[in-house]
Amino acid sequence: MPTIDLTLDYLPPKPPKSDYGIGCIGAGFIMRDCHLVAYNNAGYKVVAIASRTRARAEETAQVRGVPKVYDTYREVIEDPAVEIIDIAVPPDNQRDVVRQVCEFGKGKIKGILAQKPLGMNVAEAKEVVDLCTAAGIMLAVNQNMRYDQSVRACKSLLQKGVFGEPVLATIEMRAIPHWMPWQERLGWVTLRIMSIHHLDTFRFWFGNPERVFCSVRPDPRTLQKFDHTDGICLYILEYESGLRCAAWDDVWAGPSREGAGSDLYIKWRVEGTEGLAWGTIGWPAYPNRQPSTLHFTTRQQPNVWFHPQWDAVWFPDAFEGPMAQLMTAIYHHSEPEISGHDNLDTMALVDAAYRSAAEHRAVSLKEVK
């Protein structure tokens, strides 16, 4: 029986230099309980933080051991020890923060790690990319699902050809996220908040599709709080090769918050001409630690299933990866794999999904780019 290379490249490469000074802008949940936890575990050097209110920044700094708290974003940017700016603010505020970094940090700041979505739409995201390009500041986007171990391990197997030609890939999410207050003023629920992770994962695995068809309806639970369209989202990606990808992003997940039983999960599956894989993402169990999983089989070793196991979880462990990638790119003067330029295609895919749902037709990436 021929042997095959089943080594899984699932860990983000360690940066050759990891002691860049990080300045944090924003002090909410995602910064306090994900970014800073992951950075502390990795030994990264966080030197300063500022938020919309000093009290919030001081609270986060005290909990996570950040040595300096500033009243303004500009003070963080101009701190001599800060080389990388890590941004965690609402998407409608992010462009203005990036503009400040490019204005006050030009010639000093080496890189920015920005949140997803990069902007309110693909046009605004391109403005952010252009600002950073003009200022000579490297831009990476925190598409952290790419750094979940099951997602990266699947990518490794695809690159090795273990599954042959990809035929069908699916992601099914039945989970109830914790919504942020700013979502109400923007009227967003799922496509730009959760589906963007899945759309980016499909791009990470397979590249850009030709077109997307998307159908949406409101989430009954969230509809009681504010109007929106993109609650429950179903979409299909069509690739020129014949590959089809599909996702069901269901943030309603039944009346489990209203007294019924709960059945929350995220499952994914990839089928190819030579094999298949399926896995789970443990995030719906947060704050409990539930590692993601991977199970795969291939004709190259018939009738055998492989079940690697890990201790790491998406939230917060995968948040080490995007910062590690940015540091690596800064060191090598190379383009990050999660660069702003690359992320424009993810943003375009999200915009295409919104247009598809509104116009009840398939929309190509070319229409929105």
Residue 5 lies in a domain: no
- Domain co-membership, 278 together with 356: yes
pLDDT of residue 327: 98
pLDDT confidence of 192, banded at 50, 70, 90? very high
Residue 4 lies in a domain: no
- Domain co-membership, 269 together with 122: no
- Domain co-membership, 306 together with 177: yes
Task: Render pLDDT for 246-303 as a digit per residue (tens, 0 to 9).
Answer: 999 999 999 999 999 999 999 999 999 999 999 999 999 999 999 999 999 999 999 9
- Domain co-membership, 48 together with 130: yes
Query: Is residue 2 pLDDT above 60, yes or no?
Result: no
Please state, for a pLDDT cut of 90, what percent of the chain lies above it. 95
Residue 6 lies in a domain: no
- Domain co-membership, 131 together with 174: no
Domain residues for 89? 21-143+325-335
Q: Cis peptide before 302, with omega less than 30 degrees from 0?
A: no
pLDDT of residue 363: 98
Query: Is residue 178 pLDDT above 90, yes or no?
Result: no
- Domain co-membership, 46 together with 190: no
Query: Is residue 55 pLDDT above 80, yes or no?
Result: yes
* Dist CA 66 CA 89 (whole Å): 18
Residue 15 lies in a domain: no
Is residue 320 exposed (0-12), middle (13-18) or buried (19+ Cβ within 10 Å)? buried
Residue 341 lies in a domain: no
Residue 12 lies in a domain: no
Query: Is residue 305 pLDDT above 60, yes or no?
Result: yes
- Domain co-membership, 105 together with 154: no
Burial 248-271 (b: 16+ CB within 10 A, else e): ebbbbbbeeeeeeeeeebbebebb
- Domain co-membership, 240 together with 92: no
- Domain co-membership, 70 together with 155: no
pLDDT confidence of 318, banded at 50, 70, 90? very high
Domain with residue 240: its CATH number is 3.30.360.10
Tokens of 302: 């018939």
pTM above 0.85, yes or no: yes
Q: Return the SS3 of 172.
A: strand
